[in-house]
Chain A
Amino acid sequence: MTGQTRGSARPNQWLRNLNAKIASIPMILTAVVIFVGGTAWTVLYSFTNSKLLPRLSFVGLDQYERLWAAPRWLVSIENLAIYGFFSLVFSLVIGFVLAALMDQKIRFENTFRTIMLYPFALSFIVTGLVWQWLLNPQYGIQSIVRSLGWTSFNFDPLYNSDIVIYGILIAALWQGTGLVMCLMLAGLRGIDEDIWKAARVDGIPMWKTYVLVIIPMMRGVFITTLVIIASGIVKVYDLVVAQTSGGPGIASEVPAKYVYDYMFQAQNLGQGFAASTMMLVTVAIIIVPWAYLEFGGGRKRA
């Protein structure tokens, strides 16, 4: 208050709008200390050979060389790539198709939406545990199909290291496609009805209108959704811990789990920092081009 009463006079620039500044201290601390400071700290210490405690003894790129030579890290990266690719493709395709179906002026739209979105309210731990149970080879889907007569039916992704990541993918898609559907539906609702009328007058079939007109018009929604899904993919951790704990063996390890295990279990901080820095780089590769496209060019959004 003191700041305001002085008006725009010059006495003390710092005291102007003082209350707003005081109120923003938590935000400033979070932004500067945690987000910038913390990130810089981790990147800096990834060049050291810290073990149990962080120590500033630089070893250059040693940790990164070790990281990229570690089989477990390579498996993690491969898993992340497979999981990431398929969950992007499937959640965009399924999400869009569901949204298109929901956009047909159907009845019970709310019921359908409620059903498709409820898994998103559940935690990854709950999701992982349910699917662990459903995919249990002894009692789950495999045993049901076998008991129906198809005795050679094989579906035990969680116990087969070649396909375990797809087992995780199934659970992730169950949890996340509802959200993509909602975002896409919001995008579809934003399309001018006249477009549809024009397409109908011209006699263009519906699927063609979607592919050639609507999807290109929804470019923004697609990109935003893509960024949301992608930044979620890089963080995938809880789901793997709950569903497989990284197993069988190291077959379903992911980078986030690698980081956690090295930081808090293996007492090898340097490795953990290097791995987390690689995660940061991955995210930057996704985010920077998007941010450039979205905010860099025209500065349309404040």
Chain B
Amino acid sequence: MLNLVANNSMVTEHEAAPDRITSGPRGPKPRRTLSRRNIVVYGTLIVVALYYLLPLYVMIMTSLKGMPEIRVGNIFAPPVEITFEPWVKAWAQACTGLNCDGLSRGFWNSVRITVPSVIISIAIASINGYALANWRFKGADLFFTILIVGAFIPYQVMIYPIVIVLREMGVYGTLTGLIIVHTIFGMPILTLLFRNYFAGLPEELFKAARVDGAGFWTIYLKIMLPMSLPIFVVAMILQVTGIWNDFLFGVVFTRPEYYPMTVQLNNIVNSVQGVKEYNVNMAATLLTGLVPLTIYFISGRLFVRGIAAGAVKG
């Protein structure tokens, strides 16, 4: 069945050899592997793949070269002499303004922002989603609709009122304030994610637990939580990459000593004073991209699921 579909083009005339049927569900490859169609399909995809990989390649190459080599050479050429000095410098010595302790500070700030933000936002959103899916109360759907519509409001519209709220709470400029902000803006998409997931679980399970006398929290902790680990992983991937990559909130809601890595990176690279050290800049850029890239390459398909759900966050 699949074979017919597999040979999409004009190769239907191809004699149907009997061994085709027995050779498994994926179907045998067309005999002429170098058909015009294949050349076009694979050729285009390979060119496109190279285009996508090019910036990563250039980043790595540049970060391993010394400045003299960059000045004379071309950005695509591999380094003649590999040096890790730019990486060391980017991590420990690069300057932002008067501070010269490198990106490491931004990295640890980002860790201190990301870890609690991810945990808190997921905890709150999963409980929200659970309440919405299983313990619906009057008006719950209204709040949920507002939340989802709110996901489309540009952040710029809500930034200043949040500054005021945080200032009143005494946490404006601190890590706590930024964590609250990440929790707020992660809520729409995460709540949607969890609500849909919990609503998809068999209802009998929930009812049986109710009959046995389990309450709101018991059911959540003992039944829902253990059953939905995959969705928690998806939410974590979504949040870690999203929060790590954030720039706007970091710059608005924290003081310079708490700047996350992205903000510090931008300040290092785009600072006007001094000679531009492109190799250090690229090493710093790679360092900042390393965390989300690692998560991406490890998590594979789950990442795709996460962003398909989180794309709305845009």
Contact = CB atoms under 8 A, between A and B. Distances in A.
Contact of A117 (B128, B152, B158, B304): B304
A133 B52 contact: no
B76 A144 contact: yes
A26 B124 contact: yes
A165 B24 CA distance: 51
A136 B9 CA distance: 44
B39 interface: no
B231 to A, nearest CB: 18
Interface string B238-253: 0001001111100110
Main secondary structure on chain A at its contact with chain B?
A: helix
B45 A101 contact: yes
A196 B157 contact: no
Contacts of B78: none
Contacts of B44: 101
B206 interface: no
Interface stretch (B14-22, B92-100, B293-301): B293-301
B160 A131 contact: no
B157 A144 contact: no
A183 interface: yes
Nearest to B40: A101
B75 A101 contact: no
Given A21-B137, A23-B127, A126-B285, A283 B153 contact: yes
Nearest to B269: A129
State which size class the interface on B falls in.
35 or more
B147 A27 contact: yes
A220 B239 CA distance: 27
Nearest to A291: B149
Nearest to B135: A20
Interface in B95-141: 124, 127-128, 130-132, 135-137, 140
A227 to B, nearest CB: 8
Contacts of A104: 8, 37, 41
A34 B153 CA distance: 11
17 contacts: A1-B216, A24-B140, A35-B147, A39-B150, A42-B157, A104-B41, A115-B49, A121-B292, A122-B292, A123-B292, A126-B285, A139-B74, A140-B75, A206-B8, A229-B314, A235-B314, A241-B247
Interface of B: 2, 4-6, 8-9, 12, 37, 41-42, 44-45, 48-49, 51-56, 58-59, 62, 70-71, 74-76, 124, 127-128, 130-132, 135-137, 140, 143-144, 146-147, 149-150, 152-162, 164-165, 183-184, 187, 191, 215-217, 241, 244-248, 251-252, 262, 265-266, 269-270, 278, 281-282, 285, 288-289, 292-293, 295-297, 300, 303-304, 307-308, 311-312, 314
